[in-house]
Amino acid sequence: MSVLVYTESENGKLKKAALEVASYAKAVADAIGGNVTAVSINSDNNDDLANYGVHKSLEVSDEKLQKFNADAYAEVITQAAKKVDAKVVVISQSANAKYLAPLLSVNLSAAYASNVVDVPKTDNEFTVERTAFTNKAFNHTSLSTDIKILGLSNNAFGLKENKVEMSKEDFSAELNDDHFKINVESVDKNTDKVSIADAEVVVSGGRGLKDPKNWGMIEDLADVLGAATACSKPVSDMGWRPHSEHVGQTGKPVASNLYIAIGISGAIQHLAGISASKTKVVINTDDEAPFFKAADYGIVGDAFEVVPKLIEKLKDFKANNA
């Protein structure tokens, strides 16, 4: 039995999420009995995967795959899964992984469970725990096909070191023009900013900021923490911030280690979007704001007084703990 994990890279470097899905794949392999094989595309160095339980690294190096292409990437993973006779395929829940997963599912005639948060139970049937209703509930899902695809929620499992001997093998999939029917014309990436999906820490602002010109405070706090910036729905609706930063049920879900909400009252849709975050901090003048019921730590106070002080104190903390 074999577990195949797709380990994503960016500019030739493995993403942190790749190490997390590898850690998870090792736990899945231990549960069902078997070893983990990783497949990576145009990653320069996969040595680190050995520290997270990967026994074999299938390494694809192909100029045609420099830009992400869902069809072609799904085909590569399909052929890798067939090569190692994978019973479980593990992917992350990045935007690209979510794009290719349903295609992979049809290619392999495999059931796909997305937003998985725990290792499968395999006593009678194969079941996984997933989030549902945008984190307002969990759903235990059984998968009935021979091959299963699991999409692991970001930060749900964490990094688990598990050093093993790893072998490497060049791998090339057979691809044809049909796999490249969609053309990527241009990519516009905010290279200097942490993306919400990859962020360990997210600093988010709401209507309490009063004016978009006050946003500098949010960015300064995010800079100190190496965090991504986000916002509530009204803020993106008013055009203060782009839609891509809107967190919530109809925006982006956040599963960071730390989520700091400033001037956000905490509507049910917003809380659903952030409930997978581990530690939540709220700063709000209104002590009746619903966010205080969802948060771990709170400060009742004026953001314009509290946040600048927090930035200064955090700078000192970082300097002393560097």
> How far apart are alpha carbons 172 and 24 in whole angstroms?
25
User: How many other CB atoms are there within 10 angstroms of residue 76's CB atom?
Assistant: 27
- Write the interaction track for another protein spanning residues 29-58; mark x where CB under 8 A is met and - where it is not: ------------------------------
The residue within the footprint of another protein, chosen from 181, 213, 216, 322 (CB under 8 A), is 181
Q: Are 264 and 204 in contact (CB under 8 A)?
A: yes
314 in contact with another protein (CB under 8 A): yes
315 in contact with another protein (CB under 8 A): no
Q: Scan residues 106-145 and list those touching another protein (CB under 8 A).
A: 106-107, 110-115, 127, 131-145
The residue within the footprint of another protein, chosen from 77, 203, 258, 261 (CB under 8 A), is 258
Q: How far is the CB of 257 from another protein (least distance, A)?
A: 5
The residue within the footprint of another protein, chosen from 122, 167, 244, 286 (CB under 8 A), is 244
Nearer to another protein by Cβ, of 164 and 301: the residue is 301
Q: Are 273 and 249 in contact (CB under 8 A)?
A: yes
CA dihedral for 17, 86, 99, 259, sign (positive or negative): negative
Contact stretch for another protein (CB under 8 A) within 50-58, 81-89, 203-211, 289-297? 289-297
The residue within the footprint of another protein, chosen from 81, 150, 197, 247 (CB under 8 A), is 197
Contact stretch for another protein (CB under 8 A) within 52-60, 76-84, 202-210, 286-294? 286-294
Q: Is 135 left (phi over 0), alpha (psi -120 to 50) or beta?
A: left
Contact stretch for another protein (CB under 8 A) within 32-40, 157-165, 210-218, 303-311? 303-311
261 in contact with another protein (CB under 8 A): no
322 in contact with another protein (CB under 8 A): no
Total chain residues near another protein (CB under 8 A): 91
- Local structure of residue 209 (DSSP, 8 states): G
- Local structure of residue 1 (DSSP, 8 states): -
Structure tokens at 195: 């993306």
Cβ contacts of 84 within 8 Å, gap of 6 or more: 2, 4, 37, 56, 58
Tokens 């001997």 sit on residue: 165
Nearer to another protein by Cβ, of 99 and 215: the residue is 99
Q: Are 262 and 297 in contact (CB under 8 A)?
A: no
188 in contact with another protein (CB under 8 A): yes
Helix pair 216-225, 303-320: axis angle to 10 deg? 20
CA dihedral for 305, 306, 311, 314, sign (positive or negative): positive
Nearer to another protein by Cβ, of 66 and 279: the residue is 279
237 in contact with another protein (CB under 8 A): yes
- Integer Rg of the chain from CA: 21
For the chain, the residue count is 322
Q: Are 222 and 262 in contact (CB under 8 A)?
A: no
94 in contact with another protein (CB under 8 A): yes
Nearer to another protein by Cβ, of 64 and 136: the residue is 136
The residue within the footprint of another protein, chosen from 42, 96, 162, 214 (CB under 8 A), is 96
Q: Are 168 and 46 in contact (CB under 8 A)?
A: yes
The residue within the footprint of another protein, chosen from 16, 82, 83, 98 (CB under 8 A), is 98
24 in contact with another protein (CB under 8 A): no
Contact stretch for another protein (CB under 8 A) within 49-57, 169-177, 206-214, 240-248? 240-248
71 in contact with another protein (CB under 8 A): yes
φ, ψ at 247 (rounded to 5°): -105, 135
